[in-house]
Amino acid sequence: MAYQNPAEINGLCNSKIVTEYLCRNGFSALSIEPKKVQHKKEMSRKEAEDETRLTDLEAAYTTVLRGLGEDTDRQGLLRTPLRAAKAMQFLTKGYHETVSDILNDAVFDEDHDELVIVKDIDMFSLCEHHLVPFFGKVHIGYLPNKKVVGIIQERLTKQIAMAISDALQPAGVGVVIEAAHMCMVMRGVQKMNSCTVTSVMLGVFREDPKTKEEFMALVKNS
C-alpha cells in the first residue's frame, strides 16, 4: 500500500504514542511505539516508618492471638494480625500529625471579630491504660484576631448583618448561622455531625450584654 503526505498525529492511548499515517484510500495504518512513563510515589516519613514497623506489629498481634489460645493459621485469622497492625497505625496516626497538617493552610485573613463556634465534632481516641476506644463530642469556640479557619461562613454572616443594617437602619442587628460544611463531612476531617456556628452583633446587640444574651438564648432554644 502506497502512502502520500504522511500526517503524524500523536495521541496518548493506554500510555502509548499512536502515530497515524493517512493513506490514499482513506484507511489508516497505525504504528505503535511504547511511551516510557515513570510513576514515582513519594512516601512521607510517617508512611516510611509505618512500613518499617508493620512487620513487628503484625508479629506482636500474632503473639497476642496465640496467647489467647487461637490458631493463627486457620482461615479466619490468616490476615488478622496484618489488618490489626494497620488499624492500630491508623488509630494512632495523630501522634505524628501537627496542627499545620490538620489545617492544611486553611487559615485566612478576615475582618471578623465575633465568636466562632464549631460544635458536635465527633471524637474518637484510645484509652492509654487498656487500648480500648472512647468517643464523644468536642465543642470549640474562639474569638478571631483577624484570622479564621475557613472563610465563607464568617464573611456571609457579616454580609447578612450589614445588609439588614443598611436596609432598615435598626438600633441593632444580630445574626447567627449554624451550618454543616460538606467539605468537613464528605472529605478532609470527615466529621459527620459537626456544626459551625458564627455570629455578628451590631449596634445595641453588641453594646448591651443583656440584649445579646436574650437574643442568643432565644436562638439556642428555637
Residue 19: strand pairing partners: 10, 31
**Does any domain span residue 197?**
yes
**Does any domain span residue 82?**
yes
pLDDT of residue 145: 77
pLDDT over 70 (residue 15): no
Most confident of 14-18, 30-34, 81-85, 95-99: 81-85
pLDDT over 50 (residue 131): yes
In this structure, are 118 and 222 located in the same domain?
yes
In this structure, are 12 and 115 located in the same domain?
no
What SS3 state is found at 119?
Answer: strand
pLDDT of residue 172: 87
The residue to which cell 442587628 is assigned: 173
Q: What is the DSSP string of 35-86?
A: -------PPPHHHHHHHHHHHHHHHHHHHHHHHTT--TTSGGGTTHHHHHHH
Question: What's the chain's average pLDDT?
Answer: 76
Q: Helix 80-91 and helix 45-67: axis angle, to 10°? A: 130
Percentage of residues of the chain with pLDDT beyond 90: 17
Burial class (CB in 10 A: 0-12, 13-18, 19+), 205: buried
Instruction: Report the number of distinct structural domains present in the chain.
Output: 3
In this structure, are 129 and 212 located in the same domain?
yes
Interval 81-106 mean pLDDT: 86
Which residues span the domain enclosing 5? 1-35
In this structure, are 149 and 61 located in the same domain?
no
Which pTM value belongs to this model?
0.58
Residue 150: count of CB within 10 angstroms of its CB: 19
Report the Cα–Cα distance between both ends of the chain, in Å, rounded.
82
CB 9 within 8 A of CB 31: no
CATH number at residue 190: 3.30.1130
By residue count, the chain amounts to: 222
In this structure, are 106 and 93 located in the same domain?
no
